[in-house]
Amino acid sequence: MKCRKCDQKAVINMRQHKLALCKDHFLSWVCDQTERNIQKYKLFTRNDQILLGVSGGKDSLALWHVLLKLGYQTAGLYIHLGIHGENQYSTTSQQYAQEFAQKYGLKLHIVNVEADFGKTIPQFSQANKRGKLKPCSICGLVKRHTMNDIALQFGYDVLITGHNLDDEVSVLFNNVLSWQVDFLRRQSPYIPAKEGLLPKAKPFCRFYEKETAAYAILADIPYIEDECPFSIGSTTIQNKQLLNQLEHDRPGTKLAFYIKFLQAKNSLFSEDYSTNAEELFLCPNCGQPTQQPGDCAFCRLISKN
Amino acid sequence: MSIKVLIKNKEYLLEETDDLTVNKVFKRFNLLPEGYLCVRNGELLTEKDLLRDGDILRFIPVISGGQQ
């Protein structure tokens, strides 16, 4: 199979775009499309100081690489969750993040959950009824709080993550199945700032997971291939497998599901029910916004343990 | 002659390699191409690529999990 843009052999065939590309054209295509996403969704500008959540995986490291090539001002934040397993998951993924930052001379903030908050994520999870059932929800809570906290402390303008289209459609699918209207109206490539909360952006939201992995491999970016041991059997992975089966039978299904949802949002949700409509309170302990008066969920988690 | 296939730290040997494509290997292992990249000596392959005797293929999973 030949590249659509030259005579070289194609290394990837993106059936949803009817586009096969060689290595060089694919690497430039990812950069061009990322820039297009940044402009289309007004995610940030070259004047902004950007803090990227880095996990040591393919998505965040590929995104960091692309933004560096595009000339954006970025720093990374790695959160050591204290997840071990057979592959020393957290320590190994931290090494990948550090090696990348060192290679390209980039600033990487590192937060160690156990050192800073007294317990690892698995320990918080074990000690908490909610966590025993859903360790990923404890992890998400700690990561969201920490990212916002570091971004505020160091004066960043915007928080970004490497979430890809498969992540987005998995969440969308789940929220549609249970008609989680609040979550649906919040799902967006860009979540505007609120008092105490930085804006959040997802520049990779239109790339399939396979494309971000291909970018990392072709750009020679070492990353942790192993998955978090807690994600095995998770709803996210089950949803992704189901959606990949649909995609296999009908190429473009995942992309259309996401893009058409974003287009339909204006019709689905009235203006007074927009993203910024909900009332927020400030946590008296940490000062971060919370949906209910009193301590926020993060501070309640820490104080209970 | 044969083709070696590595999937998630497991190794498999394919003996019948005539007209074997990446797509046929996906089907043989009941894998969806949407969930894996196929790499031969550091080179990414598309599903239509023809394989050769002695090839060593690595199928790299691309699905990651967790919560947003």
- Model pLDDT for residues A143-182, shown as the tens digit of each residue: 999 999 999 999 999 999 999 999 999 999 999 999 999 9
Q: Which of A197, A200, A206, A201 is nearest to A165 (CA)?
A: A206
Quick check: B46 and A13 CB within 8 A?
yes
DSSP label at residue B42: T
Token digits for A238?
């089950």
The answer to whether position B26 is within a domain reads: yes
Buried b (16+ CB within 10 A) or exposed e, B27-46: eeeeeebbbbbbbbeeebbb
Residue A12: count other Cβ atoms within 10 Å of its Cβ. 23
Specify the pLDDT at position A84. 87
Per-residue confidence band for B42, with pLDDT thresholds at 50, 70 and 90: confident
For chain A, say whether B15 makes contact (Cβ under 8 Å). no
CA A50, CA A74: separation in Å to the nearest integer?
5
Q: How far apart are CA A38 and CA A32, in angstroms?
A: 10
pLDDT (tens digit per residue) in A26-65:
999 999 999 999 999 999 999 999 999 999 999 999 999 9
Contact A114, A258 (CB under 8 A): no
What single DSSP character describes residue B15? -
For the segment A216-250, what is each residue's pLDDT rounded down to a tens digit?
999 999 999 988 888 888 888 999 999 999 999 99
- Asked, for residue B21, whether it belongs to a domain, the answer is yes
Q: Is residue B39 part of a domain?
A: yes
Domain count for chain B: 1
CATH of the domain at B55: 3.10.20.30
pLDDT in the model for residue A131:
52
pLDDT at residue B61 tops 80: yes
Contact of A275 with A192, CB cutoff 8 Å: yes
Question: How many cross-chain Cβ pairs, A to B, lie less than 8 Å apart?
Answer: 90
Residues of A in contact with B26 (CB under 8 A): none
Closest chain A C-alpha to B58 CA, distance in angstroms: 12
Domain span at B46 = 3-61
Q: How are the residues of chain B apportioned to helix, strand and coil, as percentages rounded to the nearest 5? A: 15, 40, 45
CA distance A156 to A39: 19
Task: Determine contact: B41 vs chain A, CB below 8 A.
Answer: no
Among A14-18, A78-82, A125-129, A253-257, where is mean pLDDT lowest? A125-129
Side-chain half-sphere exposure of A44, counting CA atoms within 13 A: 28
Residue B66 lies in a domain: no
Q: What is the pLDDT of residue A271?
A: 62
Give the pTM.
0.94
Q: Identify the residue among B9, B23, B47, B64 best suited for mutation to test binding to A, counting A beta carbons within 10 A and taking the highest.
A: B64
At A279 the pLDDT is 78
- Rounded to two decimals, the ipTM of the complex is 0.95
CB contact under 8 A, A227 and B49: no
Residue with tokens 């039978």: A249
Coil, strand or helix at A190: strand
Confidence of residue B64 (pLDDT cuts 50, 70, 90): confident
For A44-279, which CATH superfamily applies? HUPs (3.40.50.620)
pLDDT single digits (tens) A269-295:
876 555 555 678 999 999 898 988 999
